[in-house]
A and B are shown apart, each in its own frame.
Chain A
């Protein structure tokens, strides 16, 4: 009799989950809530980690491998740590490049200053690079768009830059653009090199995988403090933070693209007598071109998503303007800057995609003029507009509007937005506020309390149990190890708050995504429409989502959660549509011929078959949600994010704390990822889809 029950439990997953739930509830209710009890909270045995990390960073910066460096001002040798000299030279190089592009477009004398003495420059004040008139730049954007994708992209580029210029955002936009133009190629080269290395050497790929996982799930904020410590403040620091964040997807895309090349193409290259180098540069990379260029596209999107965050470490541009506007609660100004970021993102996105899909015609029989027609027009327009702008110097007395329209003088619709927000605020204040209050007191408050009231032993049992039932003992130990790592720090309570917010947002976003996705995936046109809507929303930098919600719900958990839900609904929807579309047509037909209704078809055929794919979407929502929840710290929440954010202002122990906390968030995401992936794999195998 006993044996019989055991067998049932062993073979039935629902029974196992049932038992796990009962054990969890028992532990939850029976373990006494008192600080001395290790079942309730573990001792912070790992509290030394952030401190040790700090020691390492500062030792590297100030003590290790001292070099004798010549100081030209004091005319003597000084002892300086090699590592610090190394980081300094990186900073200098990056700053030079960014300033170079910036001055090329906006004019100035900083770059000239590098090559001549200060005194000489003061005496010769004519020696300054002229700004590119925005009129010429608009023509340039139009022509570039035309070259890449015909009249539609031409109009997008032209009107976009016209808008940016006459609304007075020309200077910050160029600052942002110069940042993107320098950061992207660096990410490209790094990503491509590591990707190729990973492709050629299995061991390298295996080693890269977990590193990339952590890097892609770390909250962007966590990188900022260490970067300030290592590289100081400025545009270059923002660029480095962006490089750290944007390079992993480039590496992944490169590996993916190279792996997708059919072995026959490689063999054809070999049989043509290619050497290894020829094979790499003439066969492999060009064949994987499309995936690699899609990687570049991702990198650019990441750069723009980072502009606001980069402004925290001193990057200038639209991000900084947006941050300042938000800090002073100027919604209109913030929205304008945000709109410019989105506009630049959309333009660059469309342009790079068009570039990726463009095939070069090597055999066009063109004359010199035909071939360089657009370049010639661009060159001429620069000349003409520059001359006009120069002559106009005499006409305008203070500001030459033909070079730049400054932000105070540009058109603006900020006050309309402000008025609209005020109107919404006044009209709906009562209902919004009561909704907010209801959510906070009836749902979020109790949920938070329940999470915080969870004994650590119960949490560990639940997570490890789920991992065990789904993935077996190895998965369970992996997940348990990661959770234990967090539990033994002194930040467990904060982590629980992050978890509560993430759980709520993930559930809501997944529900939204599945419902919206299911509705649109019913027809082919619907799928197409919703997927392009998803594309559009994904070009929004994450920060932009916070702007509207703050003004509707103030600085509360509600705002952050709603932003997170909206942000994370995108991947959930996308994967739902993909999953539903991948259900074979023959099954639809078989269902129809068995006489199922539409609802029955959805519940009995489509959802079960699409579910593994949908779960991978849920996986993505976890990453998206965590990013947004941590970002929420900017506007004030009290989870891990707040501490990471707080670490920004603590130079001494900041870096260690930020890295450790960032790692915690990353570990949470990876735990979920490990379990979901395993489950989806098994499920796909069971359904015969893999």
Chain B
């Protein structure tokens, strides 16, 4: 099956003569040289795929080009060069009508500062994408009520955004982006404007939603912990370049560059790594009754492993034994050395 989103050699360069500079450089973009010529490099040669039902988290500090990349893929800005395929169709070549059609049918987006319409109630905000599409008021409100329930805002349908807390406003933003039942879900730092406790709560809520909905997701954040918590795969960006794109545990175990290593240094490994990454696949004959799954995060099963004195069996989803784990390895991960 072809990937839902597929980018190849995407560049976004801001400035007047970006196009000519880019074609002169032949794809080999040096940010410093471009800056001297009065251009700012937003995205520098990004190529990757996102598969159906996968969640790709784009992580980077401010100015790393992560939001720009997201906006190129939703075509809120036009990429300077490159191919962006959505279900096999190049979004850069679409005319305005096709683009509106695509957004009305396939895409939803959540914004950092919620971006709710201040003159509309919760219900109207959520029904808005349906109404611009031409759905009747009655049907759109009916659908919006469904969404209100989904994001847990029942009882606040007639509130105005200014009457809601930040977390509640973002729930409205999420409900609005899901109202048209899109296949692709863009989230641009959706929880960054919230305070830490609410952020945690919203992340849990988000994981719950995703387990029900199973959308194809691009999620932008500057918070590495958040990325680790949520992602199927993480892309780490710096100065417009994707430094590394991999599964969370691989990034922690094998940082590709020094820049990535700086992020991973302080990450508690037991919170990221799965049993699979420290088990012995060569010895599937461990004794004992207790088993752990290979996809379990180490931290969650550490106590169980350390309490039993013996080597423990590791099983996969189908409960067949795929390896074993020695408690000493868990101790090593937990306490270093």
Interchain CB contact under 8 A, B117 and A270? no
B104, B115, B123, B176 pick with most chain A CB within 10 angstroms: B115
A264 touches which one: B104, B113, B128 (CB < 8 A)?
Answer: B113
Given known contacts A363-B123, A363-B158, A273 and B111 CB-to-CB distance under 8 angstroms:
no
A363–B124 CA distance with the chains assembled, in angstroms: 10
A270–B128 CA distance with the chains assembled, in angstroms: 11
A289–B115 CA distance with the chains assembled, in angstroms: 16
A267, A268, A275, A361 pick with most chain B CB within 10 angstroms: A268
**B residues within 8 A CB of A267?**
71, 76, 109, 111, 115
* Nearest opposing residue in chain A for B158, CB measure: A363
Chain A proximity mask over B108-139: 1 for CB below 8 Å, otherwise 0: 11011111111111011000110011000000
Interchain CB contact under 8 A, B103 and A286? no
A368 within 8 A of B: no
Interchain CB contact under 8 A, B133 and A283? no
Interchain CB contact under 8 A, B119 and A273? no
**A residues within 8 A CB of B113?**
262, 264
A275–B100 CA distance with the chains assembled, in angstroms: 7
* Nearest opposing residue in chain A for B71, CB measure: A267
A393–B129 CA distance with the chains assembled, in angstroms: 60
Interchain CB contact under 8 A, B132 and A274? yes
* Nearest opposing residue in chain B for A285, CB measure: B119
Interchain CB contact under 8 A, A289 and B119? yes
B216 within 8 A of A: no
**A residues within 8 A CB of B128?**
272, 282
Given known contacts A264-B113, A271-B76, A283-B117, A361 and B100 CB-to-CB distance under 8 angstroms:
no
A272–B101 CA distance with the chains assembled, in angstroms: 10
What's the minimum C-beta distance from A364 to chain B, rounded to whole angstroms? 9
A361–B123 CA distance with the chains assembled, in angstroms: 12
Given known contacts A264-B112, A267-B109, A273 and B132 CB-to-CB distance under 8 angstroms:
yes
A287–B128 CA distance with the chains assembled, in angstroms: 14
**B residues within 8 A CB of A271?**
74, 76, 103, 107-109, 177, 186
* Nearest opposing residue in chain B for A289, CB measure: B119
**B residues within 8 A CB of A270?**
76, 103
A464–B76 CA distance with the chains assembled, in angstroms: 47
**B residues within 8 A CB of A272?**
103-104, 128-129, 132, 176
What's the minimum C-beta distance from B140 to chain A, rounded to whole angstroms? 12
B34 within 8 A of A: no
Chain A proximity mask over B61-91: 1 for CB below 8 Å, otherwise 0: 0000000000100101000000000000000
- Name B174-213 residues within 8 Å CB distance of A: 176-177, 180, 186
- Name A230-282 residues within 8 Å CB distance of B: 262, 264-265, 267-268, 270-275, 278, 282
* Nearest opposing residue in chain B for A363, CB measure: B158
**B residues within 8 A CB of A328?**
none
**A residues within 8 A CB of B111?**
264, 267-268
B48 within 8 A of A: no
Interchain CB contact under 8 A, A363 and B157? yes
B263 within 8 A of A: no
A273 touches which one: B104, B112, B173 (CB < 8 A)?
Answer: B104
What's the minimum C-beta distance from A120 to chain B, rounded to whole angstroms? 49
B160 within 8 A of A: yes
Given known contacts A267-B109, A282-B132, A361-B158, A273 and B117 CB-to-CB distance under 8 angstroms:
no
A124 within 8 A of B: no
**A residues within 8 A CB of B74?**
271
A689–B203 CA distance with the chains assembled, in angstroms: 37
A264–B128 CA distance with the chains assembled, in angstroms: 15
**A residues within 8 A CB of B104?**
272-273
A362–B157 CA distance with the chains assembled, in angstroms: 11
**A residues within 8 A CB of B76?**
267, 270-271
A597 within 8 A of B: no
**B residues within 8 A CB of A275?**
100, 132
A359 within 8 A of B: yes
What's the minimum C-beta distance from B167 to chain A, rounded to whole angstroms? 17
A195–B14 CA distance with the chains assembled, in angstroms: 28
Interchain CB contact under 8 A, B118 and A273? no
What's the minimum C-beta distance from B298 to chain A, rounded to whole angstroms? 39
Given known contacts A271-B103, A272-B103, A273-B104, A287 and B132 CB-to-CB distance under 8 angstroms:
no
Given known contacts A268-B109, A359-B160, A362-B121, A273 and B133 CB-to-CB distance under 8 angstroms:
yes
A272–B132 CA distance with the chains assembled, in angstroms: 8
A282–B116 CA distance with the chains assembled, in angstroms: 12
A262 touches which one: B71, B115, B124, B132 (CB < 8 A)?
Answer: B115
What's the minimum C-beta distance from A558 to chain B, rounded to whole angstroms? 50
**A residues within 8 A CB of B112?**
264
A278–B132 CA distance with the chains assembled, in angstroms: 7
What's the minimum C-beta distance from B242 to chain A, rounded to whole angstroms? 23
**A residues within 8 A CB of B107?**
271
Chain A proximity mask over B299-310: 1 for CB below 8 Å, otherwise 0: 000000000000
A362–B123 CA distance with the chains assembled, in angstroms: 10
Report 6 cross-chain contacts, Cβ distance below 8 Å, ordered by A residue. A262-B113, A264-B111, A265-B116, A271-B74, A271-B177, A363-B157
The 9 lowest CB-CB distance pairs between A and B, nearest first, are A273-B104, A272-B129, A264-B115, A268-B115, A271-B109, A273-B103, A286-B119, A264-B111, A363-B158
> Which positions in A face B, CB cutoff 8 Å?
262, 264-265, 267-268, 270-275, 278, 282-283, 286-287, 289, 359, 361-363
Starting from the known contacts A271-B103, A286-B119, A363-B123, 10 additional A-B residue pairs (CB-CB under 8 Å) come to A264-B115, A267-B76, A268-B173, A272-B104, A273-B100, A273-B103, A273-B129, A275-B100, A286-B120, A359-B160
